[in-house]
Structure 1
Amino acid sequence: MQRQGKGGSIDAAVRFRVVGVLLLLAHLLFVAWVTLRPLDVPWVSAPNLQPMAGIRADLALSPVEAAHRIGEKLLLLAPLGVLLPLVGGRLHASPLVSLARTVAVGALLSLGIELLQTGVPGQVVDVDSLLLNTLGVALAHLAVVPAVRARLRRRPLRLLRARPRDEGSQGSTPTIPRVGIAP
């Protein structure tokens, strides 16, 4: 979604980024509402600071309940795997660098959420949430972004093509005929 030519392509790239920023902000507000609101519970379990302990405990439950708990943590930040590259707007980016950048931002956001939960009544810090949230961002990025970028590079969207010029604007640059000088 970098500049693809002249005229309307810049407008389309800006529109994609603006839509990406709005969707990103809406998703982050939803995540903040889900993870940082106080819960009225009679008791709170101890924080889980041992990696994979919560996942093992979830897997010891019924398969449906385990899939629900693990899937919930995987899907919470997964849209960031697509929205962050959309906001970045790079059409020609290294897949590995893009993945690393997106996963790093997803991990930092997940860490920030876990740290903020320490001060919220009823919310408990869980290192497995950090791991699964980050894995969800990586999986969403790998599943969507490389294929979409490749498709956009092969066949630009109609929005990215140059628009016809208005009649009131200047036309093409005039050419000057060669002037022959006789010896």
Structure 2
Amino acid sequence: MQRQGSIGGSAAIRIRVTGGVLLVAHLAFVAWFSLRPLDVPWVMPANLRPFAGIRADLALGWPAAAQRIGTGLALLAPLGVLLPMAGGRLAVSRLGSLLRTVTAGALLSLGIELVQTAVPGQVADVDSLLLNTVGVALAHLAVVPAGRSWLRRRAEHRSRSAVAKEEPAQGRTPTIPRVGIAPWSDALPPSSP
């Protein structure tokens, strides 16, 4: 039995498997990138004031600020597409899908920031949490609604063309010409003498 609003048949399986494999690969990259120990001479204290790190990055000037802020936005942004892709549902609320995806991205980012406190050279930063969450939301808004719309149109087109091409397996159903009712005498068995 197929869930309501899910993609049909083998397409659903392919999309879910692809989304799951890409999701695992991306999470492995994020774990490597975010949780590897760094060899640094000193460590800055944790940033627990929202936007303080972003203001400090902007004070560095354009290229450095763009690189740091861009890295924060891009790190978890693929989750905005991969999480709904792994779910494989087409008929869902846009707002509900966005909220579920952004919440999952924010919780994952929070988990990374908490684990970073135990990694040498890594420091927890509330601005990283904010940038990662905004990156997930932007990627979701940019790709998922248009992708779902395209997949729905494609599925509808395929189902319409399949119905149009479908012919009965036995050929045309024969029509029987109208037959009158036989008189009683023809219907009774012959009488014995």
State the TM-score bracket (shorter-chain normalisation): 0.7 to 0.9
In structure 2, distance between residues paired with 1:139 and 1:3: 24
Q: Secondary structure at the match of 1:119?
A: coil
In structure 1, distance between residues paired with 2:135 and 2:146: 17
Structure 2 segments unaligned to the other structure (5+ residues): 163-168, 176-180, 182-193
Matched, 1:79 2:78: yes
Matches within 5 A, 1:110-149: 110-149=109-148
Post-superposition Cα deviations, 1:53-111, rounded to whole Å, max 9, x if no partner, equal: 00000011111110000000000000000000000111111100000000000000000
Query: Which residue of 2, 5, 20 corresponds with 2:6?
Result: 2
**What residue number does 1:61 align with?**
60
Question: Does structure 1 conserve the Cα–Cα contact (< 8 Å) formed by 2:7 and 2:89?
Answer: no
**What residue number does 1:102 align with?**
101
The Cα shift of 1:11 comes to 1.6
Using a 3 Å threshold, how does the CA distance of structure 1 residues 157 and 29 change in structure 2: closer, same or farther? farther
Using a 3 Å threshold, how does the CA distance of structure 1 residues 90 and 67 change in structure 2: closer, same or farther? same
The Cα shift of 1:3 comes to 3.9
Q: Secondary structure at the match of 1:68?
A: helix
Matches within 5 A, 1:157-172: none
AA partner of residue 112 (structure 2): I
AA partner of residue 92 (structure 2): A
The Cα shift of 1:25 comes to 0.2
State the TM-score, normalized to the length of structure 1.
0.82
The Cα shift of 1:44 comes to 0.4
**What residue number does 1:168 align with?**
none
The Cα shift of 1:133 comes to 0.1
In structure 1, distance between residues paired with 2:36 and 2:151: 39
The Cα shift of 1:12 comes to 1.7
Matched, 1:41 2:40: yes
In structure 1, distance between residues paired with 2:18 and 2:7: 17
The Cα shift of 1:154 comes to 1.5
Q: Secondary structure at the match of 1:38?
A: coil
State the TM-score, normalized to the length of structure 2.
0.78
**What residue number does 2:87 align with?**
88
AA partner of residue 128 (structure 2): S
**What residue number does 1:7 align with?**
none
The Cα shift of 1:151 comes to 1.3
Post-superposition Cα deviations, 1:20-55, rounded to whole Å, max 9, x if no partner, equal: 000000000000000001111111001000000000
Matched, 1:19 2:23: no
Paired residues, what number? 164
Q: Which has the higher contact order (CA 8 A, sep 6+)?
A: 1
Q: Pairwise CA RMSD of aligned residues? A: 2.5
Bigger Cα Rg: 2
AA partner of residue 6 (structure 2): Q
The Cα shift of 1:157 comes to 9.2
AA partner of residue 22 (structure 2): L
AA partner of residue 115 (structure 1): L
